[in-house]
Amino acid sequence: MSLRVGLIQTRTPATHAAALAHVAPLVREAIGQGAQFVLTPECTNVVQKDRAKLLPALTSLEDDPVVNGLRAIAAETGTWIDVGSALVTRPDGDGRAANRQVVIDPAGAIVATYDKLHMFDVDLPTGETARESAAYQPGDAAVVVDTPLAKFGLSICYDMRFPALHRALALAGATVLTVPAAFTRPTGEAHWEVLLRARAIETGSFVMAAAQGGFHEDGRGTWGRSIVVGPWGEIIAQLDHDEPGVLMADLDLPSALSARAAIPALQNARPFAGP
């Protein structure tokens, strides 16, 4: 069984209206090329690094204009669309948002969501700091979406550095892992491809990584280089730039099971005592 997928690489603007105008034509282009499942990047609905500007501009998932615009395209075209992530408000009112992946079925209904589990919080020797958790409430559950196309395991950007999450997704039956991202340029150049290939090899899974790319209105620089990796670690398709565009790939889904049979690491792992 072959699955034709489309990955959307964007340079998302700083407002919802501009973001929808940017991503919608690319999604339609992928569908026009036969995509049965379309994945967009992290922060598909807005990129704004100034939290004082970002947080007041966000809406609930139900009211987000970019998500609703993509739901309309899914229903119009009968296509599965995975919004790699939308930054949305949360109902508990603690002031932080959610970085949320949203899977939309061909009827335009939201059938699954996943909130990014791992927050990038760091104090660098240079004195620079980053506190993703100051703006976003992390999720607390892994998510596998069982569709008529395949079982998809959801993760977002920094999650790719945590092998245990992707192992859990594979053990739960996922054969395709979605890893939408807005990877920084220095870490992207150093780690992007090797981490994604490692997650594919470790789990015997396809990995789809749709990315933000280039320099955004808010001054942020992202790596681009969207990529699809096969379960043997082979690169199936890849963009070699950071410009907006569409990456198409055909996934031979049974090859994931063949890879897992050849190297049964998921089954061979054993518990062990700590050092």
| Per-residue model confidence as pLDDT tens for the chain (275 residues) | 899 999 999 999 999 999 999 999 999 999 999 999 999 999 999 999 898 999 999 999 999 999 999 999 999 999 999 999 999 999 887 889 999 999 999 999 999 999 999 999 988 787 778 899 999 999 999 999 999 999 999 999 999 999 999 999 999 999 999 999 999 999 999 999 999 999 999 999 999 999 999 999 999 999 999 999 999 999 999 999 999 999 999 999 999 999 999 999 999 999 999 99
Task: Respond yes or no: is residue 43 known to be catalytic.
Answer: no
Query: b vs e for 198-229, b when ≥16 Cβ sit within 10 Å of the residue's Cβ?
Result: bbbbbbbbbbbbbbbbbebeeebbbbbbbbbb
Closest CA to 99 of 47, 150, 145: 47
Give the number of domains in the chain.
1
Residue with tokens 């996943």: 114
CA distances (Å), origin 103, targets 13, 37, 80, 108, 167: 22, 10, 8, 9, 21
Distance CA 104, CA 223 (A): 26
What are the structure tokens assigned to 144, written together?
Answer: 């596998």
What integer pLDDT is reported at residue 92 of this predicted model?
83
From the number of C-beta atoms within 10 Å of its C-beta (0-12, 13-18, 19+), residue 123 rates as: exposed
Assess contact for 109 and 203: CB atoms under 8 A: no
- Domain boundaries, position 100: 2-265
Question: Is the sign of the CA dihedral 223, 158, 180, 134 positive or negative?
Answer: negative
What integer pLDDT is reported at residue 129 of this predicted model?
81
Catalytic residue (choose from 42, 128, 151, 243): 42
In a domain, 273, yes or no: no
CATH code at position 206: 3.60.110.10
Q: Give residue 110's identity as a one-letter amino acid code.
A: I
In a domain, 271, yes or no: no
In a domain, 174, yes or no: yes
Catalytic residue (choose from 76, 116, 132, 193): 116
In a domain, 272, yes or no: no
For helices 163-171 and 185-203, the axis angle rounded to 10 degrees is: 30
In a domain, 163, yes or no: yes
* CB-facing half-sphere around the CA of 122: CA atoms within 13 A: 8
In a domain, 63, yes or no: yes
Assess contact for 205 and 179: CB atoms under 8 A: no
Q: Which H or E element spans position 48?
A: none
pTM above 0.85, yes or no: yes
What integer pLDDT is reported at residue 213 of this predicted model?
98
Task: Respond yes or no: is residue 157 known to be catalytic.
Answer: yes
Catalytic residue (choose from 43, 132, 157, 189): 157
In a domain, 184, yes or no: yes
Other CB atoms within a 10 A radius of the CB of residue 94 amount to 7
In a domain, 237, yes or no: yes
